[in-house]
Structure 1
Amino acid sequence: MNTWRNRFVALALLGSTAHAAAADDVILTVTRGTTQHHFTLQQLAALPQASITTATPWTQGKHRYRGVAIGTLLQRLNMSPPALKVHALNDFWARVPTAVALQYRAILATHVDDQPMSRRNKGPLWIILPLSEHPELNQEKYHNYMVWQARTIEVE
């Protein structure tokens, strides 16, 4: 797996091109074998929304994150895989056990404090777990599942 250093360097490089995703831009691709599902911000917003208010190791204080629950997305795609391989814009990736995502109601956040997430603030998609609500998640293993600037999900 990539190191934290790689994540921070890539984030710094992408910061110069920070912008919120346009509603008609594909911001997420979910693949299963040769099948691909593409989602725009508008399409993700049309799905039932969920929110998590939490602190993270990378932000100051608690923030309210809003987006589609991973469980909702998988249900919409009629998929129930054991794991999701989530890739970020900077080539970081993490294998997220579906059971963890479902148990803790992880979301693909598109908004923070009611503002669309830009690349500069870890968007346009960031997997959020409720760290403040579940202190047992506040460890590196789970932090690695919280992929920011998520772009693709490979269903395994």
Structure 2
Amino acid sequence: MKNWHLHIAALVAAVTLICNLSPNAAQAAQSDEAVLIVAVKSTDGSDMQRHEFSMEELRTLPVAQFDTRTIWTSGEQAFTGVSLAALLTYVGVEQRQTGVVVARAINDYAVEIPVTDATNGGPMVAYERNGSTMSVRDKGPLWIVYPYDSDPTYRTEAVYSRSIWQLEEITIGQ
């Protein structure tokens, strides 16, 4: 411990370097990280195909947008993301009449969403709210939201329970 002051100086230098990173540099560093894992079980359950998406990759998928009110926010919110239907199509899940999507959050909270919910005009994996990315503290970076105002069937306890935020993994199976 003779050189404890050297350890403290190195720690101060590291913290200063991190604090001085521009937001663009920090965002660029994070853009390559996987923010969503999508695992697709084969129909017989013997195989699992895994897809990892960075935020940049999610943004290359067809963009979905809608404005809606939620029970967790005040006033109308503008959501932007990729529709659940488009995401499932992208990973090779055809429109199925059966099956379930298990969505898991960063705290391991998980919900089941019927595959039949993944329709055009249905839920999305939102990566922006009101034009800004969402921090973990603000229900982000990803949130499955439904267009609650567009149809009374989306304003039920069952649908609200499927609206998982801090999403990090989706598994699709029978």
Q: What band does the TM-score fall into relative to the shorter chain?
A: 0.7 to 0.9
**Structure 1 residue 155 and structure 2 residue 169: aligned?**
no
Select which of 82, 89, 96 maps to 1:75.
89
* Matched position secondary structure for 1:22: helix
Alignment partners' CA distance in 1, 2:87 and 2:154: 22
* Matched position secondary structure for 1:155: strand
Match of 1:46?
Answer: 60
Deviates more, 1:132-141 or 1:41-50: 132-141
8 Å CA contact 2:83, 2:120 repeated in 1: no
Once the two structures are TM-superposed, the CA of residue 117 in structure 1 deviates from its matched residue by 1.1
Higher relative contact order, structure no. (Cα contacts within 8 Å, ≥ 6 residues apart): 1
8 Å CA contact 1:27, 1:41 repeated in 2: yes
Match of 1:23?
Answer: 31
The one-letter code sitting in structure 2 at the alignment partner of 1:97 is: P
Match of 2:21?
Answer: none
Greater share of helix residues, 1 or 2?
A: 2
Alignment partners' CA distance in 2, 1:103 and 1:50: 10
Select which of 136, 146, 149 maps to 1:132.
149
Aligned residues: 138
**Structure 1 residue 91 and structure 2 residue 91: aligned?**
no
Alignment partners' CA distance in 2, 1:23 and 1:83: 29
* Matched position secondary structure for 2:162: coil
8 Å CA contact 1:24, 1:42 repeated in 2: yes
Deviations 1:78-97 (A, max 9, x none): 11352100001111111101
Moved over 4 A (4+): none
8 Å CA contact 1:52, 1:128 repeated in 2: no
The one-letter code sitting in structure 2 at the alignment partner of 1:117 is: M
Q: Please tell me whether Structure 1 or Structure 2 has the larger radius of gyration of its CA atoms.
A: 2
Deviates more, 1:77-86 or 1:45-54: 77-86
Alignment partners' CA distance in 1, 2:107 and 2:152: 28
Alignment partners' CA distance in 2, 1:52 and 1:92: 25
| Structure 2 unaligned blocks of 5 or more | 1-25, 42-47
| Structure 1 unaligned blocks of 5 or more | 1-18
Alignment partners' CA distance in 2, 1:88 and 1:104: 23
The one-letter code sitting in structure 1 at the alignment partner of 2:36 is: L
